[in-house]
Chain A
Amino acid sequence: DAKTTQPTSMDCAEGRAANLPCNHSTISGNEYVYWYRQIHSQGPQYIIHGLKNNETNEMASLIITEDRKSSTLILPHATLRDTAVYYCIVRVAWGYRGNQFYFGTGTSLTVIP
């Protein structure tokens, strides 16, 4: 699976949009971009995933560049409860033995009142 690069930490003002970048320059054509987050001392929570089209759900939007070498997770109106570590993961979507989700160190987002 391709590797990802994320900033170590970011701050965002409450009520503003949080834009979390992820670089995945070696992504393959059949690999999806997944985002999870982990609030302190809780289990990771699935947020969204996509292949090449932009995706939106009730939690966030995922913008993938046309060359698919980078993406941005957007939390449109950040709240204090969005303070968490955000993980960007790229992998093929279908399951097979060894096709793990590798949770790296992620981006620690702090939403500031």
Chain B
Amino acid sequence: NAGVTQTPKFQVLKTGQSMTLQCAQDMNHEYMSWYRQDPGMGLRLIHYSVGAGITDQGEVPNGYNVSRSTTEDFPLRLLSAAPSQTSVYFCASSYSGEDTQYFGPGTRLTVL
């Protein structure tokens, strides 16, 4: 199993650009989530999904959209990038919300 994969690993955007961060898992996990990690801060939950077709907001959802059309994929869309969205983004998955969450390697995003 590849586990949780994320692409791209690095990305530089200009303010106002949009892009999609990809996340995929091959473990047949129902629960998937997106976190961001900023210096001096703990990881913060952006959005999560408890199964295909179901998504919900986390702690810091503004400026981001998600969808879950398949069990495997959970892309995160930045609608209009802002410098405040410069961060490291981690995708995670688990069998259920109560189980151990496995993290992808992260995407390092810089917004100029």
Asked if A and B are interacting partners, one says no
